[in-house]
Structure 1
Amino acid sequence: MYAYIAGEVAKKAENYAVIDVNGVGYQIFTDTFSLNALKTGEQGKLYTYLKVAEAEMTLYGFATIEQKTMFEKLITISGVGPKVAASVLCVMRVNDIAAAVISSDDKAFAAVPGIGKKTAQRLVLELKEKVDIEDAVGDGVDMEMFTQDAAQEAVAALCGLGYNRQEAVAAIAAVKSLGDSAEELVSLALKRMGK
């Protein structure tokens, strides 16, 4: 119903902002990263998702389209509603979520308040079909020559060697066109990182 709401930021609270659009204040629940992008008294814009329930309508807002898209992917998972999805986005950035899924790191999700071990495992399992390396690396990366399975294995291998998810994804993305198998990608990534 609402693609985005733009106007003067009238108020910021712990988990929401009020945006004044021509005298109407919209209370929009949002994540920490999006809140930090807004400044009270200045113009702001949030891409929105409207949750309609029996007794209420709630707006959720995001600073970027990528955040909104990830939110919509998260709420498709059984047991993950808008509040839990918003909690995930408060703790993890979009590329962190994608990297955790790709490297099968359910512990990253279990660290989010309100998510238990089973829900964390379900998130990793069910999001595998919905996120890819491009989500983890971000815009501007040509993924045509990057084999998804090999990339996933290579990222998981680097995480197993002690690298954090973001380092692993960035390293594999940097060598994606130089190797076809996970082993080649890991070897090339390690050489590139000087290890």
Structure 2
Amino acid sequence: MIASVRGPVGHVGLDHVVVEVGGVGMLVHTTPATAAGCHRGQEATLATSLVVREDSLTLYGFDERSERDMFETVQTVSGVGPRLALAMLSVMGPDELAGALTRGDTKALTAVPGIGAKSAQRLVLELKDKVAAIHGTGGGPAPAGPAAPSAEPWREQVTEALVGLGWTTKQAGDAVEAVAGGAPADADVAAYLRLALRELRR
């Protein structure tokens, strides 16, 4: 298993980064917050989880080992795969997710696309005790990335990221419209994505 990667960042997307390791560019899928904390040309260290399928090897990366542990723990529940696990951490963050599970807050869990009331109840039932060991992940707001060159390109990028997390194109588009005027003029794409995620949880 690839437990971590470290090296200069070659590319930063909204939900992925490419880390150069020994001359090889490794594509690492991340939460938007983790991606926003990475900057091209700067060195990054990510705790990783390698998901092996018959036809693919997919690497997921996180700021902290405890966040990676949460990612792997929620996948022990039947029906929760890496995409849904990453969506959970993207929408809620590790601390909030752990808190919701330990409190049995099913309403908060259903804010994640793909999780209904029954799924939320099953998550709480199976994970309430397991998350105690990894609860309390630190980490403040992710550093802002480079500012978007204009007001319009961020719309398509944020919509694409939201659809990738599981929302419909219409839901993503409505959220983008709702937050279009809610960020400073020099806000970057990651800032708009965070605003859209909050809007979708209302």
| TM-score normalized with structure 2 length | 0.64
Q: Is contact 1:46–1:61 with CA below 8 Å preserved after alignment?
A: yes
Q: State the match for 2:60 in structure 1.
A: 60
Match of 1:118 in 2: 118
The answer for the alignment partner of 2:26 in structure 1 is 26
Does structure 1 retain, via aligned residues, the 8 Å contact 2:47–2:64? yes
Which residue in 2 is equivalent to 1:78? 78
Instruction: For residues 17-58 of structure 1, give each alpha carbon's deviation from its aligned partner in whole angstroms, at most 9, with x where no partner exists.
Output: 110113200001111221122111110111110100011110
Asked whether the 8 Å contact 1:98–1:133 carries over to 2, the reply is: no
User: Are 2:70 and 2:134, in contact at CA under 8 Å, matched by a contact in 1?
Assistant: no
Number of residue pairs matched by the alignment: 139
Give the match for residue 41 of structure 1: 41
Q: 1:63 to 1:136 in 2, by over 3 A?
A: closer
Is structure 2 residue 22 aligned with structure 1 residue 13? no
Query: Hey, what does 1:100 align to over in structure 2?
Result: 100
Are the equivalent residues in 1 in contact too, given 2:14–2:36 (CA < 8 A)? no
Q: Distance in 1 between the 2:43 and 2:115 partners? A: 34
After superposition, the CA RMSD in angstroms is 1.9
* Unpaired segments ≥5 residues, structure 1: 140-195
Amino acid paired to 1:58: T
- The structure whose Rg is larger is 1
Conserved? CA contact 1:5–1:19, under 8 Å: yes
RCO higher in structure (CA 8 A, sep ≥6): 2
* Amino acid paired to 1:34: T
- Specify the SS of the correspondent of 1:39: coil
Taking structure 1 as the reference length, the TM-score comes to 0.67
1:87 aligned onto 2:90:
no
Residues 138, 14 of structure 1: alpha-carbon distance in 2 compared, 3 angstrom cutoff: closer
CA distance in 2, matches of 1:7, 1:137: 23
* SS at 2:112 equivalent: coil
Unaligned runs of 5+ in 2: 140-202
Query: Segments of 4+ in structure 1 off by > 3 A?
Result: 136-139
